[in-house]
Amino acid sequence: MDTLIKLLREKNCKITPQRIAIYHALNDSKEHPNAEAIYKKLAPAYPTISLATVYKSLELFSELGLVQVINIGENSFRYDSNTTSHPHVVCNICQRVEDLDNEFFQHLSERVESLCDYKIKNQQLCFYGTCANCIV
Amino acid sequence: MDTLIKLLREKNCKITPQRIAIYHALNDSKEHPNAEAIYKKLAPAYPTISLATVYKSLELFSELGLVQVINIGENSFRYDSNTTSHPHVVCNICQRVEDLDNEFFQHLSERVESLCDYKIKNQQLCFYGTCANCIV
DNA sequence: GTACTTGCAAATATTTTGCAGTTAC
DNA sequence: GTAACTGCAAAATATTTGCAAGTAC
């Protein structure tokens, strides 16, 4: 919450109602929304907000390490205010995206490094299937 | 190679020079090219080929299970004629994408299923870091 | 011969950019 | 007061679609 305010202040970025609204919209959501979805969610309360501002704010948040960008193979990017490295599970039917928290997956990069000559910095793990609601 | 011909014939799809060229361009490459890159690679030898044809062919190949679509967090899709489930390693500096083949990663989906209520069908594992050439 | 395919051009979708006006501080 | 930010419109980028002409079989 106030991580945002603190970090914006530290980095000499202006604290604007738009940035606060965009960050809160993302942080309050478990849906891993894309820019368009955040924009539509805010439109009723912020009728003059623009999609460009949403994009610009999300890019800033991403640079500040406040959000992570995820791509589940759609043609748009989704955002997650949980910036820890964690796998995502995607339902092929309802497109729901859920977080998976497990320390087990944190150590995969070590195994990757033992298999190739890369120095691994981060990872994106995405599992696709059918969620409990969509299994008939 | 002739998997393509055989499969197109089986599915009553026409065997055209464009489809053959596009599949071979992908299959001969280790670069995990996107549609644009394949198009540019073919342009000298096939001056009248169109980008739309490249997209349509790649979509067909993907439906036929001849190629897999991968997304490494760019704003375009890349293609891989290796259709087995395998992790990719991406160099953050030179954007090189390499395959990693190791049975260990095949069994992650079982662990995911034990952690959530999804029936997992496939997975996309992407590790980001610095390749041997780019480590100075 | 005919159904499928190609290639063009136009449409659509997503994201970025330029810039004039506005706002945080 | 000023540098940063917003919101609009236009541009850039990636992908899809409609359709007339061409091609595989």
Give pLDDT, residue B104.
87
What band does A2 get if pLDDT is binned at 50, 70 and 90?
Answer: confident
**In this structure, how many other beta carbons lie within 10 angstroms of the beta carbon of residue B56?**
15
Residues 92-131 of B with CB under 8 A from A: 92, 98, 100, 102, 104-105, 108-109, 111-112, 115-131
For chain B, residues with pLDDT lower than 70 are 1
Instruction: Give the mean model confidence (pLDDT) for residues A81-93.
Output: 94
- DSSP class of B11: T
Determine the residue of chain B that is closest to A131 in CA distance.
B118
Q: Is A101 or B7 the better-scoring residue by pLDDT?
A: B7
Nearest protein residue to the C1' atom of D13, measured from CA = B75
Instruction: Give the mean model confidence (pLDDT) for residues A89-93.
Output: 94
Candidates 1.20.120.1230, 3.40.50.170, 3.30.465.10, 1.10.10.10; CATH matching A2-80: 1.10.10.10
Give pLDDT, residue B103.
83
Give pLDDT, residue A136.
80
> Whose structure tokens read 């996309």?
B124
Alpha-carbon gap: A126 to the closest alpha carbon of chain B (Å): 5
Given a contact cutoff of 8 angstroms between Cβ atoms, the answer to whether B95 and B57 are in contact is no
Residue A1 has pLDDT above 70, yes or no: no
- From CA A85, how far away is CA A68, in angstroms rounded? 9
Give the CA-to-C1' distance from A37 to C7 in angstroms: 36
Give pLDDT, residue B1.
60
Residues of chain B with C-beta less than 8 angstroms from the C-beta of A118: 89, 91, 127, 129-132
Give the CA-to-C1' distance from B134 to C6 in angstroms: 42
Q: Burial of B123 by CB count in 10 Å (0-12 exposed, 13-18 middle, 19+ buried)?
A: buried
- From CA A96, how far away is CA A135, in angstroms rounded? 13
Within A 12-71, residues with CB less than 7 Å from strand C: 14-17, 34-36, 51-52, 55-56, 59
Give pLDDT, residue A54.
98
Instruction: Give the mean model confidence (pLDDT) for residues A3-7.
Output: 94
Which nucleotide across the nucleic acid strands is nearest to A15, CA versus C1'? C24
Q: If we measure between CA atoms, which residue out of A48, B86, B84, A75 comes closest to residue A21?
A: A48
Instruction: Give the mean model confidence (pLDDT) for residues A86-107.
Output: 91
Given a contact cutoff of 8 angstroms between Cβ atoms, the answer to whether A87 and B115 are in contact is no
The continuous run of DSSP H or E covering A114 comes out as helix A108-115
- Is A75 (CB) below 7 Å from strand C? yes
Q: Residue A98: which of B89, B109, B116 has the nearest Cβ?
A: B116
Annotated binding-site residue? A91 = yes
Q: Does domain B88-135 have CATH number 3.30.930.10?
A: no
Pairing of strands A78-80, A68-70: antiparallel
Give the CA-to-C1' distance from A51 to D10 in angstroms: 14
Residues of chain B with C-beta less than 8 angstroms from the C-beta of A87: 112
- Is A10 (CB) below 7 Å from strand D? no
- Is A9 (CB) below 7 Å from strand C? yes
- Annotated domain spans of chain B: 2-80, 88-135
Percent of chain B with pLDDT over 90: 92
Instruction: Give the mean model confidence (pLDDT) for residues A68-76.
Output: 95
Instruction: Give the mean model confidence (pLDDT) for residues A22-47.
Output: 96
Instruction: Give the mean model confidence (pLDDT) for residues A78-104.
Output: 92
Prediction pTM value: 0.92
Residues 7-66 of B with CB under 8 A from A: none
